[in-house]
Chains A and B, each alone.
Chain A
Amino acid sequence: MPDRPHLDRRQVLQLGAATLGGALMPACDKLVLPDFPSGQATAPITPTASFYRQSCCGTPEVDADAWTLTVRVNGDEVAEITTDLLRTLTPRTKEHTLQCIGGGPGSQQISNALWGGLPLRELLDLLGVEIPASVTSQKWSCADGYHVGVPVEDVETMWAVWELNDRPLPAAHGAPLRLLTPGRYGTKNPKWPIELDLIDEPHVGFWESRGWSDEAFYKPNSFIVVPRDRTFVELGEIEVRGTAFAGDDPVTRVEVTTDGGQSWQDATLTYGNGPDVWTLWSFLWTPSESGTYEVQARITTASGAMSSPSPDATNRLEGYDGSMQVEVEVV
């Protein structure tokens, strides 16, 4: 004889009360999702309006006609850059990606653009600035109060730019001039500079004094832009797209897993333009059945460096180095 089903206190109460309530009214729910950054990885060149913005202290009001960038060597003025001078120069185009050291899978602060300007070394040569052998650092001071130290060796690779995507540099991006520092996160790419002091001692900058990395070298990292985290996707062929970047170390491979890392498959690299430019990638995925999946992307660079196995940053203060993961529900 089969056992009689045993009902405990909890079950008895549930059965009794279920007749009273629990089904009087169907669920009546409404969801409006927040806006998500879109298009960042759909276009190789980020439209200026979508280019991420980040600054320590807001956008300062800078009068371009009165603006002066004073160049000093250990405090002594040696040259001056003005807007009038820039107007006499013919800018060259440099494609360059910027990424915020504080960004991550959430904010995805990474953008790529065509910048117009000149290598900093050329500009300083034009002004006749000689850098003594004792100098170790560039101390940049900016109109918004920001300041940052950059190793003097970077003078050879940095650019001073005053155009963005073939238009004059907008105020929010540093007008009338900003610096691009290949290989280093955005903290080392100052905007609105008003003074460059070439000094014998290292300078601890605004963010660095708050714990953020002083080297600020780009770490290999991936972002998944589509599909968004925690969204529905329809069963069938699903395109996963994203960015991969490691600064001046070009990305050579992007792999995607949809089974928790048991297997990795190569994504197609859809855009890249060498060092300092992001790589865009695409991966076509056809899940066999509906359900909840975790999709993760990892990258490998020309030097053999890889993004961290974790979707989280190893050390947030040194920049995002993770392999981003999203959770999607295939229906």
Chain B
Amino acid sequence: MAACRSKLRWCKAAGLLLLPSLAHAGAWTRELGSHYVRAGYDVYGALSWNAPVGGATTALGYQAHTASVYAEVGLTPVWPLQLYTTLPLLYSDLQFTTPDAAEGSAGRATSLQPGDLRVGLQTSLYRKSVQLALGVELKVPLYRNDDIGAAQGLWKSVFPLPGEGQLDVTPQLRLGWSGGKAFGELMVGYRFRTEAFLHFDTPATLVDGVPMNLKGGVTFGRVLVMAELDALVNVSRDPYTREFVSVGPALMVTVWEGLAVEARMSGELWVDNAAQGMTGGLGLSWRSMPKQ
């Protein structure tokens, strides 16, 4: 029974990986003083479960609400070096039932937690009409999976977890192109699983993976319309580590100088070891404008 429950807990954990922020700098590494800040709110709703849900509890529905702040800033005057970070706060809401519940009755486990802090450094490798950048990102869990739901004793296992609780290091290569009012960008990385879990006593070993992002957009006056494909493919299959492919549109409307309203939607086309669902998000961003 214990094994089933730990598996169930992993299902939830895998379903809760944090969502990427809308607008990274991309391949265009910022110069000294250049900055971008975004405050956003995203809602994720699970439509189905692709993970083995064992044990005595069955998930009926899952929603995650994420409030996040993302910032990036150029650090050096000589050759672009950029620091970026994102700090999310996650409210998870899992509805569940158990076999011994009254017919039609559902329970609810909710949790408010900080998510994974992501800090990255990026530098330019090539700066012409085509941009090439190399970066490295560190993911640090700010939550304590061991403590989530701990006060609820045996019911601890129904609480969704904000993330995998593991330190990750991800080198990334970004290739960008722009021409006229359009741009395109490709990111490929390698997510290195450090095997170091913070405040999470789990026997699981997660596998390395290759994150990818393909983005394209066209500007119409103050409006930037984008389409994005996001994917994470693991180097080997296991019963724990989430993999996914998602796609969706995004919109950025500049309302005043560098102030913009952002919106996006994405649907997960394929997911393994996690819930599969859709995300919708709104954000307000401020970016430094190039001097005229």
Interface residues of A (CB under 8 A from B): 9-11, 13-14, 17-18, 20-37, 104-108, 228-232, 292, 327-329, 331
Which residues of chain B have C-beta atoms less than 8 A from A26's C-beta? 147
Q: B1 touches which one: A31, A106, A327 (CB < 8 A)?
A: A327
Q: B198 touches which one: A21, A228, A292, A331 (CB < 8 A)?
A: A21
Counting from the closest, the 10 A-B pairs by CB-CB distance are: A106-B99, A34-B101, A13-B196, A35-B105, A34-B107, A230-B154, A21-B142, A28-B112, A34-B105, A35-B102
Q: How far is the CA of A329 from the CA of B114 in the complex (A)?
A: 29
Which residues of chain B have C-beta atoms less than 8 A from A29's C-beta? 109-112, 148-149, 151-152, 159
Q: A9 touches which one: B98, B158, B195 (CB < 8 A)?
A: B195
18 more A-B residue pairs beyond the given contacts A17-B198, A28-B112, A35-B102, with a C-beta to C-beta distance below 8 A: A10-B194, A14-B167, A20-B117, A21-B198, A24-B142, A25-B142, A26-B147, A27-B151, A29-B111, A29-B112, A29-B149, A31-B108, A34-B105, A35-B105, A230-B56, A230-B155, A232-B153, A329-B154
Number of A-B contacts (CB under 8 A): 127
Q: A22 touches which one: B144, B153, B194 (CB < 8 A)?
A: B144
Q: Mark B190-224, 1 if CB is under 8 A from A, else 0.
A: 00001111110000000000000000000000000
Question: Which residues of B (125-176) have their CB < 8 Å from a CB of A?
Answer: 140-144, 147-155, 158-159, 167
Q: B113 touches which one: A11, A25, A231 (CB < 8 A)?
A: A25
Q: How far is the CA of A327 from the CA of B194 in the complex (A)?
A: 35
User: How far in angstroms is the closest Cβ of chain B from A32?
Assistant: 4
Q: How far is the CA of A33 from the CA of B140 in the complex (A)?
A: 32
Which residues of chain A have C-beta atoms less than 8 A from B199's C-beta? 22
Considering the complex, give the chain B residue whose CB is closest to the CB of A231. Answer: B154
- When the two chains form their complex, are residues B113 and A27 in contact, meaning their CB atoms are under 8 A apart? yes
Task: Determine if B100 is an interface residue (Cβ-Cβ < 8 Å).
Answer: yes
- When the two chains form their complex, are residues A292 and B109 in contact, meaning their CB atoms are under 8 A apart? no
Task: Determine if B97 is an interface residue (Cβ-Cβ < 8 Å).
Answer: yes
Task: Determine if B106 is an interface residue (Cβ-Cβ < 8 Å).
Answer: yes
- When the two chains form their complex, are residues A106 and B100 in contact, meaning their CB atoms are under 8 A apart? yes
Asked whether A18 and B113 contact (CB < 8 A) given A31-B155, A33-B107, A229-B100, the answer is: no
User: How far in angstroms is the closest Cβ of chain A from B95?
Assistant: 9
- When the two chains form their complex, are residues B141 and A108 in contact, meaning their CB atoms are under 8 A apart? no
- When the two chains form their complex, are residues A22 and B111 in contact, meaning their CB atoms are under 8 A apart? no
Which residues of chain B have C-beta atoms less than 8 A from A292's C-beta? 154
